[in-house]
C-alpha cells in the first residue's frame, strides 16, 4: 500500500468537507437519516473514483435506507461536488457504510456494564 501524497491528503480532506456539507444541507431525500456523517474519504490518485465511508446513527433499516438514498442521489452529489471543488476530474462516489462508531459505542457500553458489575461485587 502506497502512502498518500500531500496533494492526495488535501484532496481527501476537501472532498470530505464538501461531501458533508452537501449531505447535511442540500439533499432533501426523506430516506436519508439526519444523523448521517461522513467519516472518511479516499480519492484515488487518478481522481476517477472515491470511496466515502458513511456513518448512520440508527437501526439497520435506517442505515440501509440512508445508503439507498445516497446512491440514488449520487449524480446530484457529484454535480454539486464539481461546482464546489475545482478538480481535473470529479470522482465517481461509492458510498460504504462504516459501523466503527456504532461498534465503539457498543464496546464502551459493555465495558461500563462490566465495571459496574465489578463495583457491585
> What pLDDT is stored for residue 118 in this prediction?
86
> CA angle at residue 60 from 59 to 64, to 5 degrees?
125
DSSP 8-state class, residue 65: H
The three-class DSSP label of residue 113 is helix
pLDDT of residue 53: 94
What local confidence, expressed as pLDDT, does residue 2 receive?
57
Each of the 121 residues of the chain gets a pLDDT tens digit; together they read: 456 788 889 999 999 999 999 999 888 888 998 889 899 999 998 889 999 999 988 888 988 999 999 999 999 999 999 999 988 888 999 999 988 777 888 899 999 999 988 888 7
The whole-angstrom separation of Cα 42 and Cα 15 is 9
The pTM assigned to this predicted structure is 0.79
Amino acid at each position: 500500500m502506497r502512502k498518500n501524497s500531500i496533494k492526495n491528503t488535501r484532496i481527501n480532506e476537501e472532498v470530505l468537507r464538501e461531501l458533508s456539507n452537501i449531505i447535511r444541507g442540500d439533499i432533501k431525500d426523506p430516506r436519508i437519516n439526519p444523523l448521517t456523517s461522513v467519516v472518511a474519504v479516499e480519492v484515488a490518485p487518478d481522481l476517477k473514483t472515491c470511496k466515502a465511508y458513511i456513518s448512520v446513527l440508527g437501526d439497520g433499516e435506517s442505515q440501509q435506507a440512508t445508503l439507498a438514498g445516497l446512491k440514488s442521489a449520487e449524480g446530484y452529489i457529484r454535480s454539486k461536488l464539481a461546482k464546489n471543488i475545482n478538480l481535473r476530474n470529479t470522482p465517481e462516489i461509492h458510498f460504504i457504510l462504516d459501523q466503527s462508531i456504532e461498534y465503539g459505542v457498543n464496546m464502551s457500553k459493555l465495558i461500563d456494564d462490566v465495571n459496574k458489575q465489578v463495583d457491585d461485587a
